[in-house]
Amino acid sequence: MRPAPGPLAPAHLAVSGLSLSFGGLKALTDVSFEVRPGTITALIGPNGAGKTSLFNCISGFYRPREGYIRLDARDITATHPPARAKAGLARTFQNIALFKGMTVLDNIKLGRHAHMRTNLLEALFYWGAARREEMDLRAEVERRIIDFLEIDHIRNKPVASLSYGLQKRVELARALAMRPRLLMLDEPVAGMNREETEDMARFILDVKEEWGISILMVEHDMGMVMDISDHVVVLNFGKVIAQGPPVEVQGDPQVAAAYLGSGNPAELMRRLSAIGEAA
Amino acid sequence: MRIATAKETYIADEGLLTTNTQRAWMIVLALVLALAPFVLNAYWLYLACLVAINVASATGLNILTGYTGLVSLGQAAFMAVGAYAVAFLDGHLGTPFLLNILAAGLIAAAVGVLVGVPSLRVKGLYLAIATIAASFILHFVFTNWVSVTGGMSGVNVAPARLFGIELASPFALYFVIVPVTALMVLGAANLFRTRIGRAFIAIRDRDISAEVLGIPLLQYKLMSFALSSFYAGVAGGMWAYFFRVVTPESFPFATSIFFLAAVIVGGLGTILGPILGAAFMTLVPELLKYVVEWLGPVFPNAGAALSPVRTIVFGALIIFFLVFEPQGLAEIVRRVRRFFHLWPFKT
Ligand SMILES: Nc1ncnc2c1ncn2[C@@H]1O[C@H](COP(=O)(O)OP(=O)(O)OP(=O)(O)O)[C@@H](O)[C@H]1O
Ligand SMILES: [Mg+2]
């Protein structure tokens, strides 16, 4: 038997001086921030601020024009997405990117791909090591992920048949199966009702505390951002306009201006929570 | 009446055959296949071998097109590579039969990897065109590399020998071709229980998010091409021993279309699909021949008049399945099974 993996150290992410443009459009300008090990960092900002573009740079879809991205001591700015996955980076997508035809279980198992070793020949024969690896994976997925996220009842269902909220949960499950050290969530509760949002917030906190994973999260739901994050980064027109602990950012007049065109923090909070409810 | 059993362990759940009924049917199938040669006449044995060869190749194409989502119209050319490889190895080196078939698969796989290189950049129709181009280049090689392929007149292949026994008749070859094909189908079924099969499906469904999950696209697309052409090469190798002569016209371009049609009619992305599809595509024209013969006494001159009709009926059947069962024959089987599984309860 291969040794069971020990607890993984949460990763430290450092983004520095990142710039990205699409043709003439500057999507990101000199963006710098950090995700400290074992914390939840929230990335907020109005629609079109560049949050998803920033995620795409970090996960390797977009090549930034300038700047670098470091995971712990390692510069990953130029590595391919699969190499980043191997280094411990996992993400979910704003508009769910599950494999619709596959079952929940297969989707989750896919998450482990990069950490498995079965080669083509072993796979065709399904003998010895290949079989053992699949069984170990199944056992671990059942015990650690399916139980934890309370998705026992849907494990054999095709993803396409699930509600939006459950699909988001399955996407989190798949990301967790990747054994990440940094988990990136793009709007994990968008489109969810109150109850589903609260469940998701609890899962995210548990992931941080019990699994010891650093989390970077884009979210419009301000209630949730203020509740669970340790650090908030505010992006507007591709620039970081404020960052700090939630309470500080909440009172920042620049942030209010970005959202409202006015400098009134109380009005901001009202509008922000309205966005959260509507989404 | 049967009631679904609660799965106590994952082990049972991860098996290929999950119920006793399935196991029983599999044993019945194995027995039928083992006893068939003693019952069937030479003509039907010939057809049985041909179906098995086509199943092997269609199963390979299904890995590439059905599961990985890469459309290929090169399957016939890869079979030809396998057939020529067998002819060359057998004729020039005299290496043993089974080794030659394995080598045919490996050589075809190597060619498949080369042909698959554009797949990182192009998809869908464009990739299909690239594989057509590759087929024509290979055809050119077959006609002109005379020292190896014998040019237009082709090469003859001596009968296969296994443990000193000459395998010249369909009866004898059946006992090699059918088990080899069965192993290949089993291999494909196993593949899709592992990370590699899942990666293929992920690439088919959404290659961008497959990358984020740590699946290197080029490597896996090439692997799928290699595997698919390995299957074609082995099938082509068996074909060479079966027909004993290989020429550039043995595997015309239309054969590639035949295989694509077989996996589509059978059901893309299922293990059963290419088996049913290849059997359908191989046997239906033969069965229609019987129908024509049978109508002979009723309509004099039927032979001449009905053979074009036969082709039309065959084409119409394919269209019928595409329109009324786009998921293929495998889906019909699944529905029938489901019906009996829940019977007598209403579904
Ligand atoms: N692939 C692309 N090509 C061209 N422009 C793009 C591309 N992706 C994003 N953009 C543009 O970059 C800007 C930032 O978009 P991005 O999706 O990163 O915003 P966001 O902060 O995630 O917004 P939202 O809250 O609506 O999800 C937008 O103006 C968008 O139109
Ligand atoms: Mg976005």
Residue B113's domain is classified under what CATH number? Answer: 1.10.3470
The per-residue pLDDT for range B203-216, each reduced to its tens digit, is: 998 877 888 888 99
Residue A22: exposure state from Cβ atoms within 10 A (0-12, 13-18, ≥19) = exposed
Q: Is A53 in the pocket of ligand 1 (CB under 6 A)?
A: yes
**Whether A110 and B11 lie within 8 Å, measured CB to CB:** no
Distance from CA of B38 to the nearest CA of A (A): 30
pLDDT for A100? 86
- Mutant choice from A57, A58, A110 vs B, greatest count of B C-beta within 10 A: A110
Q: Is A47 in the pocket of ligand 1 (CB under 6 A)?
A: yes
Q: Which atom of ligand 1 is nearest to the CA of A235?
A: 21
CA distances to A143, A157, A173 from A152, rounded to whole Å, are 10, 10, 12
**Whether A130 and B194 lie within 8 Å, measured CB to CB:** yes
Nearest CB among A86, A97, A119 relative to B214 is that of: A86
**Whether B199 and A110 lie within 8 Å, measured CB to CB:** yes
Residues with Cβ within 8 Å of residue A171, at least 6 apart in sequence = A92, A93, A96, A97, A98
Contact A76, A15 (CB under 8 A): no
* pLDDT tier, B337 (very low <50, low <70, confident <90, very high otherwise): confident
Nearest CB among A97, A125, A178 relative to B206 is that of: A97
Contact A265, A256 (CB under 8 A): yes
Q: Is A103 in the pocket of ligand 1 (CB under 6 A)?
A: no
Q: Is A95 in the pocket of ligand 1 (CB under 6 A)?
A: no
pLDDT for B7? 43
Mean pLDDT (whole number) for B231-241: 97
pLDDT for A273? 62
Amino acid residing at B217: L
- Domain limits, CATH 3.40.50.300, in chain A: 8-88+180-279
pLDDT for A266? 63
User: What residue of A is the nearest CA neighbor of B185?
Assistant: A124
Give the mean pLDDT of chain B: 88
**Whether B213 and A174 lie within 8 Å, measured CB to CB:** yes
Distance of CA B229 to the CA centre of its chain: 11
Write the residue with the smallest CA distance to atom 12 of ligand 1: A27
Query: Using N-to-C axis directions, what is the helix angle for B75-88 and B253-266, rounded to 10°?
Result: 120
CA atoms of A85 and B50, how far apart (whole Å): 45
Q: Is A27 in the pocket of ligand 1 (CB under 6 A)?
A: yes
**Whether A130 and B201 lie within 8 Å, measured CB to CB:** no
Say whether the peptide bond before residue B326 is cis (omega within 30 degrees of 0): no
The per-residue pLDDT for range B259-317, each reduced to its tens digit, is: 999 999 999 999 999 999 999 999 988 888 887 777 777 766 666 666 777 778 888 88
The per-residue pLDDT for range B141-159, each reduced to its tens digit, is: 999 998 889 888 889 888 8
Distance from CA of A216 to the nearest CA of B (A): 16
Nearest CB among A61, A99, A135 relative to B14 is that of: A135
Q: Which of the pair, B9 or B169, is modelled with greater confidence?
A: B169
- State the count of interchain CB pairs (< 8 A) between A and B: 101
CA atoms of A206 and A231, how far apart (whole Å): 17
pLDDT in tens, chain A (279 residues): 344 454 578 999 999 999 999 988 999 999 999 999 999 999 999 999 999 999 999 999 999 999 999 999 899 999 999 899 989 999 999 888 899 888 999 999 999 998 899 999 999 999 888 999 999 999 999 989 999 999 999 999 999 999 988 999 999 999 999 999 999 999 999 888 889 999 999 999 999 998 889 999 999 888 899 999 999 999 999 999 999 999 898 888 888 777 765 455 565 566 566 555 554
Q: How far is the CA of B199 from the centre of ligand 2 (A)?
A: 27
Q: In this structure, what token pair is assigned to residue B100?
A: 């030659």
Total of domains in chain B: 1
Q: Choose among A222, A137, A125: nearest CA to A179.
A: A137
Question: pTM for the whole thing?
Answer: 0.88
User: What residue of A is the nearest CA neighbor of B202?
Assistant: A99
Contact B232, B108 (CB under 8 A): yes
CA atoms of A239 and A32, how far apart (whole Å): 9
The per-residue pLDDT for range B194-203, each reduced to its tens digit, is: 999 999 999 9
pLDDT for A263? 52
Q: Is A50 in the pocket of ligand 1 (CB under 6 A)?
A: yes
User: What residue of B is the nearest CA neighbor of A110?
Assistant: B198
pLDDT for A278? 52
Q: In this structure, what token pair is assigned to residue B62?
A: 């299904």
ipTM over cut 0.90: no
SS3 A70: strand
Q: Is A49 in the pocket of ligand 1 (CB under 6 A)?
A: yes
pLDDT for B2? 41
Q: Could you tell me if residue B15 is inside a domain?
A: no
Q: Is A51 in the pocket of ligand 1 (CB under 6 A)?
A: yes
Contact B103, B85 (CB under 8 A): yes
* pLDDT tier, B347 (very low <50, low <70, confident <90, very high otherwise): very low
Contact status of A174 with chain B (Cβ, < 8 Å): yes
pLDDT for B63? 97
Q: Which atom of ligand 1 is nearest to the CA of A53?
A: 18
CATH of the domain spanning A8-88+180-279: 3.40.50.300
**Whether B10 and A100 lie within 8 Å, measured CB to CB:** no
pLDDT for A2? 43
- Which residues from A are below 8 Å from B199, CB to CB? 110, 113
CA atoms of A207 and A129, how far apart (whole Å): 30
**Whether A126 and B213 lie within 8 Å, measured CB to CB:** no
Share of chain B above pLDDT 90, in %: 59
Write the residue with the smallest CA distance to atom 22 of ligand 1: A52
Q: Could you tell me if residue B324 is inside a domain?
A: yes
Nearest CB among A82, A106, A130 relative to B215 is that of: A82
Residue B228, domain extent: 20-342
SS3 B19: coil
Residue B169 has pLDDT above 70, yes or no: yes
Contact status of A81 with chain B (Cβ, < 8 Å): yes
Q: Is A56 in the pocket of ligand 1 (CB under 6 A)?
A: no
